[in-house]
Amino acid sequence: MTKITKFPSALISGDCTTSSLTLDGGSIIDQCIVTAGERGTFFLEQHLLYVVLGGSVKLTCGRQTWTVRKNEMILLRRAQSVSYEKQGSEETGLFESQLFAINDELLKDFLTSQQVQIPQMTEELGTQVSPMSDRLVAYCWSLSPYFNDPSQVNPGLLRLKVMELLYNVMDCSKNIFRQMLQLRQPVRTDIHHVVEDNYTSPISLGELAYLSGRSLSSFKREFQDIYGEPPARWIRRRRLSKAHEMLQSSRLSVADIAYSLGFENPTHFSRIFKQQYGTAPSAIMGRG
């Protein structure tokens, strides 16, 4: 089990050894070239357009799993944990991808400049793997030289390249572009579904409210009506209950269990676990 990596802040801060381009300290394009078999989990702080240029990747988010192959892409909404397993191509053994963090402000600027009329979304568009047009594939490969020396890339030019991406998506992939429009006004989603799928992620209440298509105050009020307790207390209780179960049946370390359940600090996890159950996590490992 590996610690959940936050995207894109871990890349911006240099915590990950990848080739990255940054814009305004927040928007980012990440290039990944690895051999087959890499696995991990990242938590999306921004919307992510995941493009595969070689090999394939299996992505799992909640109850859903997708396989994205060469010259395909998928748009994933922020505030979710996504696990991945990468496979190299048969020809080279390499997996090649580009990850575009879609910043809300940048998307707003693009829609405003294009005067795009955003229709009222009455139902949520499901996340789907979409084929890339020849034009989109050529665009992605045109970015490769920029990763050779990211510090020399002019911010103005990089902003134009990101805008070029949005133009290409709008013209060449109607399905992905409609999903991007939906990012601006999330559809109201069942609260049960949102919290059950995401309570193990390192997620804030504001992000849970966003995923449910509600304001924070509305989310808290409806959650209290449904579950009879505040969301923060419910999430903590569910995480600790799941941790107790895993400690008895899993061979994972205390730290790995803590990370897998959305706790960012194993020491803090151990302290509140002992408060809840009267004993340290390590003391009950393997009892099942």
> Where are the alpha helices (H) located in the chain, listed in sequence order?
9-12, 104-114, 134-142, 155-172, 174-183, 191-198, 205-212, 216-227, 231-249, 254-260, 266-277
Question: Domain 5-183 carries which CATH code?
Answer: 2.60.120.10
Domain ranges within the chain, ordered by starting residue: 5-183, 191-284
Q: CATH second-level architecture of 191-284?
A: Orthogonal Bundle (1.10)
Q: How far, in Å, CA of 18 to CA of 24, rounded?
A: 19
pLDDT at 35: 67
* DSSP helix/strand/coil, 178: helix
pLDDT at 16: 47
> Residue 1's pLDDT band (boundaries 50, 70, 90)?
very low
129-188 per-position pLDDT tens digit: 999 999 999 999 999 999 888 888 898 999 899 999 999 999 899 889 888 888 766 667
Distance of CA 97 to the CA centre of its chain: 15
